Structure 1
Amino acid sequence: MRLVQVLIPEGARPVVLETLDEEGIDYAVFDEVGRGDFEAMVQFPVPPSGVEPVMQHLRSEAGIHEGAYTIVLPTETVVSRRLPALKERFPGLRISREELLARAEDLAPANSTFFAFLLLSTVIATTGLLLDSAATIIGAMVVAPLMGPAISASVGAVLDEPEMRSRGSALQVTGLLAAIATAAVMGWLLQQTVLIPPGLDIRTIPQVAERTSPNVLSLFLALGSGLAGAISIIRGAGSALVGVAIAVALIPPAATAGLGIAFGLPGVFVAAAVLVVVNLLAINLSALLLLYAAGFRPLETTDRRTVRSAVFSRVATILFGIAVLSLVLGAVTWTTFQTQSFEQETQEILRQDVDQANIEGVELVDVTVDYEPVDMLLGREPQVNVLIGIPRGLEAPPDLAQRWDDQLTTELDRDVVVRVGFVEAQVSEAEPREPPFEWSSLTILATPVAGPGDGSGPRPLDIA
């Protein structure tokens, strides 16, 4: 429930009270002696969704203009026989446009506060990325103040508040640029110390790799965060937790982009920057659409036409940007699926070959495939690394790598490079070992074809 307090202009008291009586609202009236242009103050309880229609009725019937002194307060308990009827008339939980503006202003802090928390959040997130610590990254998200600018920009757009819209948009852009710069400087400084090992490849850190291989699923996080932010401000619930979700979509990839600059890895920077921009656009799009669909409009009818055109134009621009960048996300999604499928199929083929050979003492220790989405996009050949355990006294075949190269090329229709390493494996057994066997019993089922360069790839490892 809300308690609304309104100062009544001189001569408007009878009309105001008559209007409230028509609405079926209980009220209390107090004489006003503090200001000469008002004669009384009226206060009345009303459900949250009823504040805006009741105030519009008072403006149209009693001349209570928008600039009049009006206070809307949340209340814990109201006892009145008229409340059930009011709740039936105003069943929703949507707040009034005045409350929406006030909340949006509160969510966007002063510039100094905003940048202080943003930079601290970036420092913590960068540390979490380098430590591969999800808990540290989540802790950084609690500090990040990005929900306010994202929501205030959309609120300013639907309510025709250009100053709020511009400030919200500017804070988002400058804040994320500052986050990237902070992570870049921090990454460069850390390289000059002993806090991180020399020659560290940040692409091998799982938390960093997660932000450098963005796919279409990333859009769901951003869209959901924007919708949750709009719902939280409309209904006044869980805004702090929603702010964490919005920050998760923006701060870690921004910090990753900064680390890409610091470590001289343009691929990392571009991939993370694309994720930042896509998430930023998706958050603003979902929040803008939900606020507009919820019915928030400017007070004046002429402004509503202007806002409708401006909102549609803004939505079209954001959709175009998301569509263009989604091509990148779609390419990453498709290549990731292809590379992972290739790795699984390769491991299954080699495992079946060794199992079907059924040679005692021979064990397939490990199969790894060095094949990333960027390798596929650049046309690089996947490298298959095979490690086989063999008993002492068994001679390793010199052509096994090429034979598997030919088989994988034929069955998977993709040129590969195969490296085979051998390690001596010992297995204790109760009975004497059978005589040595020949590697010819390891049968390659596929028809051999010429591999890339006719065997010019890496040679099998020589075991001393």
Structure 2
Amino acid sequence: MKYVEIVAEKSSSDIIQAMAEKDKALDFRLGDTGTDGMRQMRVLVSDDTLQSLLDHLQNILGAQPTARITVLPVETSLPVPDEEKRQKEDAATAAREKLYDEVEKGVRLDANFIVLVMLSTVVASIGLMENNVAVIIGAMVIAPLLGPNLALSLGTALGDVALMRKSMQTLLAGIVLAALFSAGLGLTLPSVPLAGEILLRTEISLDAVALALASGAAAALSLTTGLSSVLVGVMVAVALLPPTATMGLMLGTGNFRLAVNAGLLLLINIVCVNLASKVVFLLKGIQPRTWLEKEKARRAMVIYVLVWLVTLLILIFIIFSRRTLGS
């Protein structure tokens, strides 16, 4: 082990602490700030992480001419560092990286995503108009809507703003494309029958909310426990694609009342899917490892949950207002 003594500007304290945590420091201490604005910090690190810490410190302190790094040998340190705890932290880091790699693949807004959305929308629209549940389920299998939802929740859990932004763009693009394509079908087809499966997507009930919550929870569990992503993807698609296709079909035929109802159901489902998956990630302990990253994730999570809750309350208010006016 080595004791690294650092003298740097006070403003560098937080980022140096974050780097120490990232390099698995065994101990970190902050000293007093001198009259010259320089602050003393001490870090206890193992030999195998010393070089990584020094590299990070040199990058941080390179522009500070009066900064200093001193490395001191350590004969012994009590209590002995908990190796089992360190192994668990390494495993958690590996798990986070694996989760990130898996969801990142599902947010790519490329030609494959666009083609799958278009194909699944066509199949779902046909199933809705023919009142054929089997055809609708077939559309769910190929609908690529699982990835963006999982990435949005995971990005919030990890405080990754870039992943959140990319996943929201992909999810929005998929829904808009599905709505436009189904609206085009509604415009070009001679007639669109108001089949039972279509009317089902224009009614908002507690059953639909429960389905969306279960879909979101199952989506997060599929990522963290290895459940079949195909089956869970069907659940998420059931909550999102049929209401989107119904909304588009109704817009194409000029039935705006039913289109608005389907749109409200879609928005509620999006909120519930993302809220449920976020809760699962929290319960499973998916979070950044370093203090600085945890603070970023905490702020992102608060904003994320508040936005979805406020949106859900507004939608519920609109729904009950419409029902009251309708009666």
TM-score by length of 1: 0.51
Deviation at 1:160, TM superposition (A): 2.2
- Name the structure 2 match of 1:182: 181
Give 1:151's aligned residue.
Answer: 150
Q: Offset of 1:184 from its aligned partner?
A: 0.4
Residues 96/116 of structure 1: CA separation in 2 closer, same or farther (3 Å cut):
same
Structure 2 CA distance for aligned equivalents of residues 56 and 234 of structure 1: 24
**In structure 2, how many angstroms separate the alpha carbons of the residues matched to 1:108 and 1:321?**
23
Q: For residues 45 and 138 of structure 2, what CA distance do their matches in structure 1 show?
A: 50
**What residue is the counterpart of 2:99 in the other structure?**
100
Choose between structure 1 and 2: higher helix proportion.
2
Does residue 296 of structure 2 align to residue 306 of structure 1?
A: yes
Amino acid across the alignment from 2:249? L
Secondary structure of the corresponding residue to residue 126 of structure 2: helix
The residue number in structure 2 matching 1:274 is 264
Structure 2 stretches lacking a partner, 5+ long: 2-22, 27-43, 54-83
Question: Are 2:209 and 1:233 equivalent residues in the alignment?
Answer: no
Once residues 167 and 308 of structure 1 are traced to their aligned partners in structure 2, the CA distance between those partners, rounded to angstroms, is 19
Q: Cα gap change, 1:162/1:378 in structure 2, threshold over 3 Å: closer, same or farther? A: closer
Per the alignment, do residues 57 and 108 of structure 1 end up closer, same or farther by CA in structure 2, a change over 3 Å counting? farther
Matching residue of 1:219: 209
Q: Distance in 2 between matches of 1:328 and 1:289?
A: 25
Matches of 1:168 and 1:101, distance apart in 2: 12
Map of 1:15-26 to 2, 5 A cutoff?
A: none
Calculate percent identity across the aligned residue pairs: 29
Question: Do the aligned residues in 1 keep the contact of 2:128 with 2:136 (CA within 8 Å)?
Answer: yes
Q: Name the SS of the counterpart of 2:254 in structure 1.
A: coil
Counterparts of 2:242 and 2:155 in 1: how far apart (Å)? 27
* Equivalent of residue 206 in structure 1, options 196, 217, 220: 196
Q: CA 1:60–1:274 in 2, change beyond 3 Å: closer, same or farther?
A: farther
Shift of 1:97: 0.9
Give, in whole Å, the separation in 1 of the partners of 2:196 and 2:261: 15
Contact 2:109 2:170 in 1 (8 A): no
Supply the AA of the counterpart residue of 1:293: L
1:412-451 map, 5 Å:
none
Question: What's the counterpart of residue 63 of structure 1?
Answer: 49
Q: State the 1:377 CA deviation.
A: 4.3
Contact 1:215 1:329 in 2 (8 A): no
Q: Secondary structure at the match of 1:296?
A: coil
Deviates more, 1:109-118 or 1:267-276: 109-118
The aligned residue for residue 127 of structure 2 is 128
Amino acid at match of 1:287: S
How far apart are residue 98 of structure 1 and its match?
Answer: 1.1
C-alpha contact (below 8 Å) 1:185/1:262 kept by paired residues? yes
Higher Rg of the two aligned structures: 1
RMSD: 3.2
Residue type of the alignment partner of 2:201: R
Deviation at 1:60, TM superposition (A): 5.8
Cα–Cα, structure 1 residues 158 and 137, in superposed 2: closer, same or farther, change >3 Å?
same
Task: Provide TM-score, normalisation by structure 2.
Answer: 0.71
Q: Which amino acid aligns with 2:126?
A: T
Does the 8 A contact of 2:183 with 2:252 survive in 1?
A: yes
Kept in 1, the 8 Å contact 2:116–2:142? The answer is yes
8 Å CA contact retained: 1:153, 1:169 = yes
| Alpha-carbon displacement from aligned partner over 1:374-411 (angstroms, at most 9, x marks no partner) | xx8434xxxxxxxxxxxxxxxxxxxxxxxxxxxxxxxx
Q: Which has the higher contact order (CA 8 A, sep 6+)?
A: 2
**Does structure 1 retain, via aligned residues, the 8 Å contact 2:24–2:49?**
no
Counterpart amino acid of residue 315 in structure 1: V
> Partners in 1 of 2:154 and 2:298 — Cα distance?
13
Q: What is the 5 A alignment of 1:253-332? A: 253-329=243-319
Q: Which runs of 5+ in 1 are unaligned?
A: 1-11, 13-54, 67-85, 336-375, 380-464
- Quote the offset at 1:296 in angstroms: 1.9
TM-aligned CA distance change 1:215 to 1:159, over 3 Å: same
Distance in 1 between the 2:223 and 2:24 partners?
Answer: 21
The answer to whether the 8 A contact 2:247-2:259 is kept is yes
Q: CA deviation at 1:328?
A: 4.5
Of residues 134-143 and 283-292 in structure 1, the stretch that sits farther from structure 2 once superposed is 283-292
Partner amino acid for 1:147? L
